[in-house]
Amino acid sequence: MQVNQIVAWMKERHSIYTKRSQGLPRPWTKDEIMLSYRFCNVYRELDTVTMWIAENWRGPFFGHPDLWFAMALSRLVNWPDTMEEMDVEHDILDNWDPDMFVEVMHRRKNAGLKTFSGAYIVSTNGNKMDKAEYLATTVLSPLWDARAKIRPKLEDNLASFAARLSQHVGMGSFLSAQVVADIKYVNPLKRADDWWTWASSGPGSRRGLNRVMGWDTEKPWKETAWAETLRELHKWVNAKIGDTMPAVHAQDLQNCLCEFDKYERTRLGEGRPRSTYPGRG
């Protein structure tokens, strides 16, 4: 079992973040792989897009019952410059306008500006139509129409809200979990009994957990077995990071497993991450 290895990766990645945020000069690490390629932060809340969402959408509208809808839109787009052109208070949270969404997306695209982030794979599920129009009409509008049934309730925990959201087109288990990771910081999910322990697997985190367990990376998982194993790893990891770093919740650990898998693929010559990192200066 490679618990020590993933903990070492987490400590080194967070050390890079700390040195960079303190304004220290490059290089921030001696690790050649981390010098060369981009890896997400240990704590998702420290990633650039998440920080923008927290400051501009989640923070100002934390008490809105349909803030989750803005979080769903934000993760489908995942690009702050695009989201900045959308008036959350009136056009999204109080009066969703699919035409406005498409108009903003097309305007940016026609101007040669980036409209989507490549961090998450968001497709049209085989439909031969414009991506912005697909999201507006097939994903977001149906979510808006069903908002009274979907919105988090006092009796919800992370698992129950994610299960309800994931039943809708375009919001599979992975993207639903991304929305949960944003909305869990406000009520009512802020009080969820599984706040620290719930996570949903993805391909990268399944491979990453296999690596930590010392198994073949393509070994299949049943979600219940993956979740149970993650909970055990979660306890071990937090015990090992101790006082050197803040405790991680299960969704942060899930993300770290995905990034650890990328790191190990690079180290072992099995592939390379898509994004490079200017770590040398």
> pLDDT truncated to tens, each residue of the chain (281 aa)?
789 999 999 999 999 999 999 999 999 999 999 999 999 999 999 999 999 999 999 999 999 999 999 999 999 999 999 999 987 766 788 899 999 999 999 999 999 999 998 666 676 767 778 999 999 999 999 999 999 999 999 999 999 999 999 999 999 999 999 999 999 999 999 999 999 999 999 999 999 999 999 999 999 999 999 999 999 999 999 999 988 999 999 999 999 999 999 999 999 999 988 888 877 66
Beta bridge partner(s), residue 276: 37
C-alpha closest to that of 33 among 236, 218, 252, 266: 266
Measured in Å, how far apart are the chain's first and last C-alpha atoms? 35
Q: How many CB atoms lie under 10 A from the CB of residue 43?
A: 19
Task: Name the amino acid, one letter, at 258.
Answer: C
Enter the tokens of residue 149. 């049934």
Task: List 18's β-bridge partners, or say none.
Answer: none
Task: Say how far apart CA 153 and CA 141 lie, in whole Å.
Answer: 21
The one-letter code for the residue type at 69 is: F
pTM: 0.94
Query: φ and ψ at 38, to 5 degrees?
Result: -90, 130
**Residue of 253, 263, 273 lying closest to 200 (CA atoms):** 253
Confidence (pLDDT) at 129: 87
**How large is the greatest C-alpha to C-alpha distance in the chain, in angstroms?**
52
Is 37 strand, coil or helix? strand
Q: How many CB atoms lie within 10 A of CB 39?
A: 21
β-bridge mates for residue 37, sequence order = 276
Residues 131, 137, 139, 140: is their CA dihedral positive or negative?
A: positive
Contact 246, 230 (CB under 8 A): no
By the 8 A CB rule, do 57 and 74 touch? yes
Which candidate, 229, 226, 233, 179, places its Cα nearest to that of 203?
A: 226
